[in-house]
Structure 1
Amino acid sequence: MKILITGGAGFLGLHLAKYFSEHFVGNKDFCSLLDIAEFDKKEYPKNCHFIKADIRNSTLMYQYIKSMDYVIHAAAALPLWKEKDIFDINVGGTKNILEASFKNKVKRVIYVSSTAVYGVPKKHPIYENDRRVGVGSYGQSKIEAENLCFSYIKKGLNVTIIRPKTFLGTHRLGVFEILFDWIHDGKKIPVVGSGNNRYQLLDVDDLVEAIYLFVVRSGHPQGVQRQQGHPKGDLIYNGAFNIGAEKFTTVKKDLEKVFIYASSERSESRSHNKNSSRQARTISKVFPTPAFFVKKALWLFEKLKLSPLYQWVYDTADKDSFVSVKRLTETLN
């Protein structure tokens, strides 16, 4: 079995490489990682093959996908990039991946989309067949890329579209590193609005496991056997699937649990290292802010390129935001 992971130098790509390496022990060179960015190779398993290439190059994509059984397409432009680059990569690049996979008879493409395709919905939970309204260039590009996936499914290519909630995990924390540093230091944590809105997140390990299951249960003898007797066979894995934590509470309650955990960790650290200079004296607290004014300020900061947050993130920050994972759990058991 040979697998190509696009966006391999990214946070998700690293976790995918590690998980697949652990579950395909002894299978040499099974995993190829493709990215335009540089790889920090020391972080990756030894049996990975590294490819530096741009998914916008259709000729190269055909060449690299030619010998692959599965393609996990996780490469994407970031929301704050230039609009042209976002559409060229997220739409044009995805088309190249799908076309190359179709021509090379790849068993399955797993496309990592986003719940940003739902925009800012008024009802929850959100289901896979709910209306898609992308906010900004990023959300719109993800919808167009999904539409390409649906069109290739009609042509006969097996495509799984994954819509994950914001996912967290070890190694690269991004903006969450700032949040955790503040919590470690016992600072007040500002939230948009009251913090009483229900907000679903996702552990990157759960996302990786779901992707793994889509691979091993489709187009593989073990997977075919498990689905024996199902009238649609591998087709049940086609289409869109929401992925998010099954258990979650409000922003405020989730943060308070992190505060308590951080406080207990500091207490344990103090007992082992009395001379540590970085010990917080207080436990963090949630600091509510007026959503209307904060969003206006964040919008201005985004336009001035002074903020790592884009419109969909802060527009949903004070609202309920959670998806139904019923289709996923029923399909993957």
Structure 2
Amino acid sequence: MTQHPDHLLDAAAGWLARTNDPEFADWDGFMAWLEADPANADAYHQLADSEAELLPVVERLAPAPEPLSAPAVARPRRGWAIAAGLAALGALGLTAVPILSGKTYTTAPGEMRTIALADGDELVLNGGTQIHLAGLDRRDIRLDRGQLMLKLHGRDEGPVSVRAGDLEVVDVGTVFEVSRDETATRVLVSEGEVVADPDGARLHLSRGEGLTASDGETVLKAEKVAIDAAGSFSRGQLTYMGDPIARVAADLSRSTGIDFSTTPAMAQRPFSGTLSIAEVRRDPASLGPLLGVPVKSSGRGWIVGEGP
């Protein structure tokens, strides 16, 4: 492994802290620094890839802690020491986040948010969604609930891992969506390929394929899906091909901020077509003719299907 001078490692640590901030925007400046000298890129990736290399740099840059009068406690784990040190770099004028502890993002129903990752990659969160980003490069994602679209270019940043419940999906360079409702996870692929359950079933899903799995399922099965369905919420639409109306209602609740539910008899009825989120938000009753079923106001929301 190349031994770099301290001043270069210090500069690389500064860029590492900045680029792991989800609000970071100076990618042109970062690329210019990387391209100015091959040693810059090597130092940066050396720190990003090795905790052992990163810790001494953080300890050198971070201000010394104030002495404590309280009794000594157990030494913190190495990863937390790095995270605390990087946060302390803020005193030196750097924008840093607790890289190893991760960050959680939540959207309210009817809200949509885009998070930029490195190299032009993007995460688009639909309403009613919560994700947790972890790892030095923010490419370890946990989807707690809701709907997430990933636009990944798969250059040199490495794979992205998404975990929803007990299902893990790994990707390199593609566009796909993962949604989570209670204990069920759905994956849709519109470009490239992903691998579901990489340590077990290793089910490969390509363009126009998807899967639906409940927690605890041991057999995963690919299914055909509408190619333009993945991430359609980000374009103001929801697209389906034989999907149960219960799923349509859940997606509409996230996307519009209006509560939609179904009667038990209507929950599994299939629907194919495209819905305008803005139109349904403007006039929820217009959903009835589109689905071909009654849609009635319940006072606090809307019920799809025959009811009392």
**Class of the TM-score when normalised by the shorter of the 2 chains:** under 0.3
Q: Which has the higher helix share?
A: 1
State the structure with more CA Rg: 2
Q: Which has the higher strand share?
A: 2
TM-score (norm 1): 0.24
TM-score (norm 2): 0.26
